[in-house]
Amino acid sequence: MPILDRAWRDWLTTNVERGCSAESMIDAMIASGFDHGTAREAVKQIVLGKPVALGQATPPAATSAASATTATSSIATSNGYHYEPCPVPAGNVVRAGGRDVKVLLRCERPQVIVFGDVLSADECHELMERSRHRLKRSTTVNETDGSEDVIQNRTSEGIWFQRCEDPFITTLDERIAELMNWPMNCGEGLQILHYNGGGEYRPHFDYFPPDQAGSARHTAHGGQRVATLIVYLNDVAGGGETIFPEAGLSVVAKQGGAVYFSYMNSLGELDPLTLHGGAPVLAGEKWIMTKWMRQRAYE
């Protein structure tokens, strides 16, 4: 009987429930260092509903680049990114910070989830009111030296809240960490962004491209970004969707709702299908709050 640690047993159980093929799970276990016989036997026993023995055994080559994810999956796109189980738990509702957050859409490749009711209308209003008079033009990372540049591709204004800077922000940081199922101390501070009519954020990646020299400065603390949550603080009268051009997906801004996407797996690979942008605001204005999670503690 193969001996697996709890993370691998849970990973197998989740993937069986999601309908993954036995071959894909065996391949993923082999890619992570299990021998073929052990992987085959473990998958067989989980599929047949016979729990494998719990133990401390982990595959010799197991890597844990993303600290909360221990297993790899062999579901790879043509661009080579290996999709692993999403950190956000399965289900139509996710309990986070004592709140029932509704799941409205799940996309597996890229890994995108649309939520409803992440924040109440009162919480959205409080964030907008606290930010309104402190906004500064947003910047992007300079590819070469990592400095922060104001550019035409991103025409929003924003402010940052320090993580857990007061009780209200702490409530939100805790809720969001639970929703994203990632340690709160890996999160950057919450950022509030405001777009006037015509404002947009042209398609980009939220991760720091490893091939750009300027990225090193930003990954030096906390490592790479692994996942994003964008929460909509108001209904946008026209335009302003969050778009994923490679996936042909666009998410309409709805007050209190959010879009989540994850883009780094435990092998350290980055998902190019998460190219995304904020479409131009055609009518009214747009307010959002963003949370970026890192690989490791971000201090």
Residues forming contacts to Zn ion in the complex (CB under 5 A) are 206
Residue sitting closest to ligand PD2 (CB): 278
Shortest approach of ligand PD2 to residue 87 CB, angstroms? Answer: 19
For residue 272, the minimal CB distance to ligand PD2 (Å) is: 15
163 versus 276: smaller Cβ distance to ligand PD2: 276
Distances (CA, A) of 13 to 5, 20, 46, 166, 179: 13, 10, 7, 39, 21
- Give 44 or 204: the residue with its C-beta nearer to Zn ion: 204
Out of 25, 180, 288, 293, the only residue in the binding site for ligand PD2 (CB under 6 A) is 288
What's the CA gap between 35 and 83, in Å, rounded?
A: 21
The stretch among 76-84, 142-150, 169-177, 273-281 that binds ligand PD2 (CB under 6 A) is: 273-281
Q: What is the CA radius of gyration of the chain?
A: 20
Residue 159 interacting with ligand PD2 (CB under 6 A): no
Question: Residue 136: how many CB atoms within 10 A of its CB?
Answer: 10
Longest distance between any two alpha carbons in the chain, whole Å: 63
CA-closest candidate to residue 110, choices 224, 295, 247: 247
Task: Please tell me the distance from the alpha carbon of residue 126 to that of residue 178, in angstroms, as a whole number.
Answer: 21
Site string for ligand PD2, 239-258 (x = CB under 6 A): ---x----------------
Residue type, 194: H
Residue 171 CB-density burial (10 A; 0-12 exposed, 13-18 middle, 19+ buried) = middle
The nearest distance, CB 160 to ligand PD2, in angstroms, is 12
If you write DSSP's letter for every residue of 139-162 in order, what string do you get? -EE-TTT--EE--TTB--EEEE--
* Residues of span 210-239 touching ligand PD2 by CB under 6 A: 230
Please name the amino acid found at residue 171: T
In the list 278, 280, 291, 294, the residue contacting ligand PD2 (rule: CB under 6 A) is 278
| 290 lies in the binding site for ligand PD2 (CB under 6 A) | yes
Q: How many positions of this chain bind ligand PD2 (CB under 6 A)?
A: 10
What gap in Å lies between CA 228 and CA 188, rounded to an integer? 10
Cβ-based nearer residue to ligand PD2, 54 or 151 = 151
- Span interacting with ligand PD2, options 28-36, 73-81, 261-269, 272-280, rule CB under 6 A: 272-280
- Quick check: 113 binds ligand PD2 (CB under 6 A)? no
Nearer to Zn ion, 228 or 265 (CB): 228
Q: Does residue 281 bind ligand PD2 (CB under 6 A)?
A: no
25 binds, among ligand PD2, Zn ion, none (CB under 5 to 8 A by kind): none
Structure tokens at 147: 């400095």
C-alpha torsion 279→79→218→168, nearest 10: 50
Closest contact distance (angstroms) between CB of 282 and Zn ion is 19
Q: Which residues bind ligand PD2 (CB under 6 A)?
A: 193, 201, 206, 230, 242, 276-278, 288, 290
